[in-house]
């Protein structure tokens, strides 16, 4: 397993070890002891699965009182995955990281609590699994608009399918600090 730091403190790109032959392959998508050896000691409480067709954008989501860290893994297809640091005292506050995760690359993205998460799908069919460090509380969820010019994410698809709620999120500079993740 190879772990690479990103431009956001506490966020890592992880290359998984894959063992394959003519029959197929095997990999461990998570093993607590191995992650702890790399000082990645997040405690996960929930696993989620998402399926989306091509061109779907989800995010940028976060929770206010119950911030969630994520370990994201694409099992089918390809996604452009983004994290935006919303931790008020972080040196990278308002900055983003973005990676194209594919089922073939066998990479994961670890985002710490307080980093908003979003992605757009690139393949015809896409399945994402992600582990969460906190439970999902619908009344605690908030978001930042996906095309906030101050964040400057260069999404790789111009015609996106996005739901009304995500399309109506505010810009980061219009969010009062009490409505950001309480870390």
The pLDDT tens digits of the residues spanning 86-138 come to 999 999 999 999 999 999 999 999 999 999 999 999 999 999 999 999 999 99
Would residue 117 show up in a list of annotated catalytic residues for this protein? no
Q: What is the CATH number of the domain that holds 89?
A: 2.60.120.10
Tell me the Cα Rg of the chain.
16
Confidence (pLDDT) at 13: 98
Give the chain's domain count: 1
Buried residues in 103-135 as b, exposed as e (16+ CB within 10 A): beebbbbbbbbbbbbbbbbbbeebbbbbbbbbe
The string of pLDDT tens digits covering residues 36-51 is: 999 998 999 999 999 9
Catalytic position from the list 61, 70, 96, 117: 61
Would residue 70 show up in a list of annotated catalytic residues for this protein? no
Distance CA 175, CA 62 (A): 13
Confidence (pLDDT) at 120: 98
Catalytic position from the list 12, 73, 119, 130: 130
């Amino acid at each position: 397993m190879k772990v690479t730091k990103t431009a956001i403190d506490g966020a890592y790109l992880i290359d998984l070890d894959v063992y394959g032959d003519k029959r197929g392959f095997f990999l461990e998508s998570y093993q607590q002891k191995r992650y702890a050896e790399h000082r990645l000691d997040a405690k996960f409480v929930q696993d989620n699965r998402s399926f989306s067709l091509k061109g779907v954008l989800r995010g940028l989501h976060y929770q206010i009182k119950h911030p969630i860290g994520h370990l994201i893994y694409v099992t089918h297809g390809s996604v452009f995955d983004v994290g935006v640091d919303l931790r008020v005292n972080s040196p990278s506050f308002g900055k983003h990281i973005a990676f194209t995760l594919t089922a073939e690359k066998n990479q994961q993205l670890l985002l710490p609590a307080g980093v908003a998460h979003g992605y757009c799908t690139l393949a015809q069919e896409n399945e994402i699994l992600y582990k969460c460090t906190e439970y999902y509380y619908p009344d605690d969820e908030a978001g930042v608009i996906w095309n906030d010019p101050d964040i400057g994410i260069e999404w790789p698809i111009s015609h996106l399918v996005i739901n009304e709620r995500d399309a109506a999120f505010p810009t980061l500079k219009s969010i009062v600090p009490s409505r950001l993740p309480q870390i």
